[in-house]
Structure 1
Amino acid sequence: MPGDGAMTSIVQRIARQALVTFRSPPRLAEEPGKAFLESHAKLSGLMTEVRAADLKLVPRRADERPPRHGGPPVTYMHICETDQFSMGVFLLKSGASIPLHDHPGMHGMLKVLYGKVRISCFDRLERPAGSAQAAAAQAGALRRYALRSTGEYTEESGPCVLSPDRDNLHQIDAVDGPTAFMDILAPPYDPDDGRDCHYYRVLPDSEVSIPDQKDQKEKEVWLMEISQPPDFWCGGEPYPGPEVCL
């Protein structure tokens, strides 16, 4: 067991709470129980408090070289991982994006540490029958989604939260300079257990037949699964912050 000194780190407290929260998460399509919701709210509260200085991160300068001049547009600092969750920090250069991607059967929580990100979240809808798009969807080429939200987050914002069936697909764009965010995924990606990361692109309305959406609260779109975009790749950096003991 770690000593009291390790427990004083907010990063350590977040990791401990994530372990408790995701030890027995609700199953897919199952309503979360009171204990999970309370534990999840506590984790969200801790994530709201964390700042770049707590992880000994120094914000990158806005005049750094853009991604096209070499080096990965995104890097990752690994903090810790268990069977229940993974935790780390993503750092995006100016103008960089993490393309639209999914988190199969996973919960997640993202907290900006410096800079600003724009996050667009999508949810999968039921497939309609009796159309060419439906036939293609059943073949796995196209999927129908709703754009649930698009919002901007800074270090003063609360965390962006996703679940297996809510806001599960998202795209993350750096806005007005470099940015970094702390990220928790539960359980971690594991291709051998059906949790591989898939990438998508939004099809323009001109390529598909979209019903009249004037009376709909959420915009419906067709997404096509694609290979990892060639202009996106993720490098690694050492994590400089407090050690996490689990």
Structure 2
Amino acid sequence: MPRINKTSLIQKIVSQACLTFKNGTSSGFGDNKVLLDQQAGLVTLLSEISAADLKIAPPKKVSISSHQSPAFPPVTYMHICETDVFSMGVFLLKAGASIPLHDHPGMNGMLKVLYGKVNIRCYDKLDKADGGESESEGHFEPFKGDDVRRAMLRSSGQYSEQSGPCILTPLKDNLHEIDAVDGPAAFLDILAPPYDPDDGRDCHYYKVLQTAEEKSEQNDENETWLLEIPQPDDFWCGGELYPGPEVSV
């Protein structure tokens, strides 16, 4: 009997991502039922994906010193595909590695852990207060200008391969930082549209300036201040070949 070629799960995810993001979602999905239904279908497929489906596995144990060597990047990336509509790949974090706080200007994102555990903290940028300088803003006089932004901590939680996807939109949970917890971790990552500095979608990094102890009693307990910074010296991302099923877009 002839062999029946079964569509891989990652191909189904790619096809659904094309449907979900093809009409553009620069302001999020809003109340558009068609877009929301397509997004729900994509979330369902992402919830089913596993490391085995992509033919990857947690690395064998190696010494901690090798993780710290400049020859070994703390984070690597497996490119799966990219179109004008979205990009997809796998980030692999070594034990103790972090992806610093960064943004996704005008972009939607979905992150699904494949193995290990990660802690994700998500922030939203807030408009600057009207009516002049606030007491908190004056506290950061050395950082005057657009480099300092008010922000809101929206969520903080731990994700594993049993968790559903972490979802960000252009307006909600758009900034996040990701820390590997108790060992190495990997996650499938979708960004729509992809980063494109020529189209205003460049990646910016941030540092939290205001701690909980420094916050005014008048401020929301989750409100903070962020300073835009260069890419941290201790963070860089290497590349790895994607070993999973081929996809077409």
In the superposition, the TM-score normalised over structure 1's length comes to 0.90
1:175-228 Cα shifts (integer Å, max 9, x gaps): 000000000000000000000000000003499x743158x4x51110000000
Query: Does the 8 Å CA contact 1:48/1:159 hold for their aligned counterparts?
Result: yes
In the superposition, the TM-score normalised over structure 2's length comes to 0.89
2:133 is matched with 131
- Between the aligned partners of 2:114 and 2:218, the Cα distance in structure 1 is 37
- 1:59 is displaced (CA, Å) by 1.2
Structure 2 residue 147 is matched with structure 1 residue 145: no
- 1:15 is displaced (CA, Å) by 0.3
Matched-pair identity in %: 58
- 1:63 is displaced (CA, Å) by 4.4
- Between the aligned partners of 1:19 and 1:33, the Cα distance in structure 2 is 17
Query: Does the 8 Å CA contact 1:62/1:94 hold for their aligned counterparts?
Result: no
1:244 is matched with 247
2:117 is matched with 116
Query: Does the 8 Å CA contact 1:75/1:235 hold for their aligned counterparts?
Result: yes
| Equivalent position to 2:229, from 221, 226, 229 | 226
Query: Does the 8 Å CA contact 1:62/1:177 hold for their aligned counterparts?
Result: no
Task: Give the number of equivalent residue pairs.
Answer: 239
Unaligned runs of 5+ in 2: none
Amino acid at match of 1:14: I
Unaligned runs of 5+ in 1: none
Query: Does the 8 Å CA contact 2:29/2:36 hold for their aligned counterparts?
Result: no
Amino acid at match of 2:198: D
* SS class of match (1:153): strand
2:176 is matched with 170
Q: 1:115 to 1:64 in 2, by over 3 A?
A: farther
Q: Over aligned residues, Cα RMSD in angstroms?
A: 2.3
1:212 is matched with 217
1:102 is matched with 103
